[in-house]
Amino acid sequence: MAGSKKEIGTGFITEVDRYLFNNGRHYEIFEKMGAHPKKYKGKNGMYFAVWAPHAEQIGVVGDFNSWDPEANAMKPLADSGIWEAFVPGIAAGELYKYAITTKSGKILFKADPYAFSAEYRPGTASVTADLSDFQWGDDAWMDKRGSTDPMNAPMSIYEVHLGSWRRKNRPEKDGCYTYVEAARELADYVTDMGYTHVELMGIAEHPYDGSWGYQVTGYFAPTSRYGTPQEFMYFINYLHKKGIGVILDWVPAHFPRDAHGLSEFDGEALYEYADPRKGEHPDWGTKVFDYSKYEVDNFLIANAIYWVEKYHVDGLRVDAVASMLYLDYGRENGNWIPNRYGSNENLEAIEFFKHLNSVMADRGNGAIVIAEESTAWPKVTEKPEDEGLGFTFKWNMGWMHDFLEYMKLDPYFRKYNHHKMTFGLTYFTSEKYILVLSHDEVVHLKCSMINKMPGLLEDKFANLKAGYTFMLGHPGKKLLFMGQDFGQFHEWDEKVALDWYLADEPQNAGLQSYVKDLLQLYRKYPALYELDYDWDGFQWINANDGDRSIFSFIRYSRDHKRSLLFVINFTPVERPDYRVGVPKRGTYTLVLDNSHGLYKRGDKAPAFRSVKKECDGQDYSIAYSLPAYGTAVFRF
């Protein structure tokens, strides 16, 4: 029985394993739980282990035993809630589930929470897999990652939904690219454009395409929509060898109610809080993980380690952090439970984040953890020992909202909203920020980036070039969602591919070329990334030219060599005699503008000699013609 101390078991899960897991400290529990190829008593087969402390009986079922709950009964391991079984004669590639008999006598057919692979939708079974036979070839990348400080390195992220990035005209799997096909074409595109990383939406297995991968049923299984676990390893390995980092969206906040998933896994609330006032998201119709249980914390933290160590991913972007931190998130008064101090912070989730990020910092080999946190919660990126949550970076949602509100305005009204563009520069050192224009901003009637812009089509493209230039110059790492770099017109739709034909249209091609120039400028000049979170790296020249809606500022490198002066005009009014203050005497060479793009080797870049003439509070200044919606970046 489950409480018997006489149970010996197979020996694959040891007493130490059980102790560590039940105390939330078994960071490689995925090596023991789930399904693993083993040899036992001279026979080859698969070993299964699952945590289900409320179960009365469990059987492993699959095609191999005609889905008979009695055929391969599991045995409980003493005082741990873990059940195990060895099934001889089966190997990788078998469909399976757990048939869990509850205390009420009902039998639940559940997918394996620790399964390494899953059946292609709409199937819901787990699939046995062997992850040990892939040969990695990214040693150089991994060594470099472990020795690089991400704070003072360039990071320009291309956010991608693989199922709708590109599609092929074929019936198999809706025409989606496989991991192998996507690796080659995506690496070529990202390399050509100049992004440093890709961030992938919806890789962990999920039943519903419309959730975009944010309602997960298979936390350890790369979705079978695009291929096998080994093919996903190939994807990451290929991008690494091309010098591209890979970040995954990760969802430890909630999970769906699907009958085959984690919800009431063994007949009772197990992975979720039992009280619906704490264990359910009313807005999303999902369940909330119970961070008070060591085994649940262990499941999630081990899952983070799994993606970093087994798949070599370079970072996790943690979704919906605010929903975890606040007990009243999305809940009306009287429908949530205060903590023991009577306030709305989820103390267990706070400790979970500190634990997670401490472990990741200790053994992640340079992998980063990014918080999608939409409030003003303090010290998100401070170390846990300094009362922080320990994240590497935080999405700057405040900057994003202010930026988009400004950019959507008719240029006439921008002078009354000048502060929306300057406010972000009052707090940019308070966290380690990533500036984001993500998928969330181009769906649900929010319009694509190009269609957020005011004016006729020509004005829209000019506005977006100016906006992207401001984003590039603003301190913080960068993220841009796919399709927005060439001016995708319609909103993102996960059911169809991007309109790649637009990249051949003159204005769209011009925008794409300009974004490419911005990204190349970004990687070329350390001034744009070395001091992202230090006031020594930024200086306003004129933050108050609201009447003309012009912004001018400087980005400095650590050694103050090859600094950059930005001037951006957000109106359609040309300034033929524009004068801007500069901090020192010398030559200011134009390296990029919105009409020419990036001045490359061999181009005759315009140069301007400063004169001793006060402007913008500076002793020196330069004068030049600033076009309508003009952007100009000078090197000095």
Q: HEC states along 13-44?
A: CCHHHHHHHHCCCCCCHHHCCEEEEEEECCEE
Using the predicted structure, report yes or no on whether residue 9 has a pLDDT greater than 90: no
Using the predicted structure, report yes or no on whether residue 1 has a pLDDT greater than 50: no
Tens digit of pLDDT for each residue in 300-320? 999 999 999 999 999 999 999
Q: Does the annotation count 94 as an active-site position? A: no
Catalytic residue (choose from 372, 402, 485, 530): 372
- How would residue 242 be classed by pLDDT, with cut points 50, 70 and 90? very high
Amino acid 6: pLDDT:
44
Is 274 inside a domain boundary? Answer: yes
Same domain? 121 vs 224? no
Supply the range of the domain harboring residue 165.
155-368+385-392
Per-position DSSP letters for 304-325, written without gaps between them: HHHHHHHS---EEEETTHHHHH
Tens digit of pLDDT for each residue in 42-94? 999 999 999 999 999 999 999 999 999 999 999 999 899 999 999 999 999 99
Alpha-carbon distance of 313 to 145, in angstroms, equals 11
Surface-to-core class of residue 552, CB atoms within 10 Å of its CB (0-12 exposed, 13-18 middle, 19+ buried): buried
Q: In the chain, what percentage of residues exceed pLDDT 70?
A: 99
> What is the number of structural domains in the chain?
3
Q: What's the whole-number average pLDDT of the chain? A: 96
Structure tokens at 473: 């110059």
Same domain? 223 vs 264? yes
Residue 498 CA, distance from chain mean position:
20
- How would residue 3 be classed by pLDDT, with cut points 50, 70 and 90? very low
Q: Does the annotation count 372 as an active-site position? A: yes
Is 482 inside a domain boundary? Answer: no
Q: How far is CA 105 from CA 50, 83, 108, 134, in A?
A: 19, 18, 10, 42
Alpha-carbon distance of 303 to 29, in angstroms, equals 9
Same domain? 122 vs 164? no
Is 228 inside a domain boundary? Answer: yes
Catalytic residue (choose from 319, 348, 517, 532): 319
The number of CA neighbours under 13 Å toward the Cβ of 225 is 27
Alpha-carbon distance of 316 to 359, in angstroms, equals 13
Same domain? 96 vs 170? no
Is 444 inside a domain boundary? Answer: no
Amino acid 601: pLDDT:
84
- Kindly state the DSSP code that residue 177 receives in the 8-state scheme: P
pLDDT (average), residues 207-211? 95
Same domain? 179 vs 323? yes
Are 294 and 23 in contact by the 8 Å Cβ rule? The answer is: yes
Same domain? 211 vs 268? yes
Using the predicted structure, report yes or no on whether residue 190 has a pLDDT greater than 70: yes
Q: Which helix (H) or strand (E) holds 46?
A: strand 43-51
Amino acid 7: pLDDT:
47
pLDDT (average), residues 173-186? 96
Amino acid 431: pLDDT:
98
Is 556 inside a domain boundary? Answer: yes
Is 82 inside a domain boundary? Answer: yes
pTM (2 decimals)? 0.96
pLDDT (average), residues 543-551? 97
Long-range contacts of 497-505 (CB under 8 A, 24+ apart): 497/164, 497/165, 497/166, 497/167, 498/164, 498/165, 498/166, 500/166
Tens digit of pLDDT for each residue in 324-368? 999 999 999 989 999 999 999 999 999 999 999 999 999 989 999
Better pLDDT: 2 or 473: 473
Indicate which CATH number applies to the domain containing 198.
Answer: 3.20.20.80
- How would residue 4 be classed by pLDDT, with cut points 50, 70 and 90? very low
Same domain? 187 vs 95? no
What b/e readout covers 262-299, taking b as 16+ CB neighbours within 10 angstroms? Answer: bbbbbbebbbbbeeeebbbbeebebbbbbbebebbbbb
Place of tokens 């039998």: 107
Tens digit of pLDDT for each residue in 466-510? 999 999 999 999 999 999 999 999 999 999 999 999 999 999 999
Using the predicted structure, report yes or no on whether residue 553 has a pLDDT greater than 70: yes
Indicate which CATH number applies to the domain containing 624.
Answer: 2.60.40.1180
Amino acid 8: pLDDT:
55
Same domain? 173 vs 282? yes
Same domain? 237 vs 326? yes
Is 346 inside a domain boundary? Answer: yes
Using the predicted structure, report yes or no on whether residue 533 has a pLDDT greater than 70: yes
Structure tokens at 49: 């282990």
